Structure 1
């Protein structure tokens, strides 16, 4: 077998084709999917997963908007957009001072990849939100599906801070899906129980259509029994919600944001890049199943309301 016939070479060629717009485009979901990526535990690959999934989908021909809800602005950095103090940002969106289309910046990494950045202004927003009307629904009120369609957006990713405060609540009330990254390490499920309880409360009182659609295993090290055990435990607990694709532990994935890049720009042929490409495709392939679930939820709500 020559090196050109190996799976590694084939995968690298696939990534190169995608970066140069030569790959088969991904199918568009029937309506824009709004996905909150949340885990109050830090260091689980939340922001890394947000930007790399977003870039993968955008390079597949889909319109993707990342709204950075974390005052640290790490997603904004990785996507290569300006988020210096004074830059129009997600703060203005929450305060209803600017519209989405006026805040979106195009990422240099892909033609159809956009970001509404986070600036230092967002740091004090949770205190400001406490005294505002509809404090949990500020983002939901301005994130309109019809507007997203007119802007050509197929996916919105809401990157949350590592907490369960008002910024994360706003993101969950605005979304229809929650994606939870879980690292394949000790105490992987620590704190996830509280997150699940919060999601349940939001479903009951603020957003009945919210569902935990996706669990993503990150930082997987196939050389250890621990990673395999944790992956098995997570799959047993969450079932079909867990993506088949796992994201490997990778130095290159960690290095990429330091250069203002996603892993797809930093090293398109790396294991991390190929894993995120596969994960994005798998996520996109689930669109039809999620539409059916959403319609079932609305039908159930309508039936209960008519009793």
Structure 2
């Protein structure tokens, strides 16, 4: 069965969808069979692969509602080894409609179980929230990649996600692990970027990817053209970074390096104190 990885962070604008899209495409470029699952009703992952809402007929709402099997909604992409389970704004309604279903948390897991043996990797793009859709993604996943923006108080909201992962581990999925924290929007010219990176690596020892994702305009441009960045500008810094991340992930799998349980995030007070120290301010 393929490795099932949720890409999650309840904070928006941190590179979550960009990571799911471009990591998936980079794995596919390495001839890994990849399924991208768009669990964010905003549909940015789907449109970033050339499937805006107007083009989608069957989608994940139909899967979670029980109207369709996952295999019936999967579509092809420009990359031979990359396929997509698209979403639609209708998916918002699933959270309300499934309230009375005792097995509501496992709908996606049951659907993915039927197709996972055909793929090397299944990457799930989670919405920027910790509701039922994200819960479904975490229950379905073997591990979680957490994109983290290199900015002030980057760790402040992370504690909620890590607490949710711990609850999922305790109640539904004891084996759920942290695949790794991914540093995004990395700008080597800024002292703050390095300070945040050091803090993250210090706290999450052995759980931070070596690869960092730089600030790169090509990443934003490529999505607006409905393409992963390696099909838009393969020589760009963004494309090179995600290709490197794919190689790092595959090396981990080849070496059978097991993801680890997540550690709690630093407290808000610790994060604030370190950020103020880095900026030369005082409390």
The residue number in structure 2 matching 1:133 is 102
Of 115, 123, 126, the match for 2:92: 123
1-structure distance, mates of 2:254, 2:31: 18
1-structure distance, mates of 2:3, 2:137: 13
1:202-281 aligned at under 5 Å gives the runs 202-281=168-247
Displacement of 1:94 in angstroms is 1.1
2-structure distance, mates of 1:293, 1:179: 10
Q: Aligned pair 1:38/2:8, yes or no?
A: yes
Displacement of 1:239 in angstroms is 1.4
The residue number in structure 1 matching 2:116 is 148
1-structure distance, mates of 2:139, 2:147: 19
5+ residue gaps, structure 1, are 1-30, 295-307
Displacement of 1:133 in angstroms is 3.1
1:162-173 aligned at under 5 Å gives the runs 162-173=128-139
Displacement of 1:293 in angstroms is 6.2
2-structure distance, mates of 1:102, 1:128: 21
The residue number in structure 1 matching 2:253 is 287
Of 133, 136, 140, the match for 1:174: 140
| More helix per residue | 1
| More strand per residue | 2
TM-score by length of 1: 0.81
What is the SS of the residue equivalent to 1:131? Answer: coil
Query: In terms of mean alpha carbon deviation, does 214-223 or 118-127 score higher?
Result: 118-127
The residue number in structure 1 matching 2:75 is 105
Deviations 1:69-104 (A, max 9, x none): 001000001112353376111111112221222111
5+ residue gaps, structure 2, are 261-283
Alpha carbons of structure 1 residues 137 and 291: separation in structure 2 relative to 1, 3 Å? farther
2-structure distance, mates of 1:61, 1:172: 26
Q: CA RMSD in A?
A: 1.6
Number of residue pairs the alignment of both structures matches: 260
Q: Aligned pair 1:69/2:39, yes or no?
A: yes
Alpha carbons of structure 1 residues 293 and 217: separation in structure 2 relative to 1, 3 Å? closer
What is the SS of the residue equivalent to 2:108? Answer: helix
2-structure distance, mates of 1:293, 1:250: 28
TM-score by length of 2: 0.88
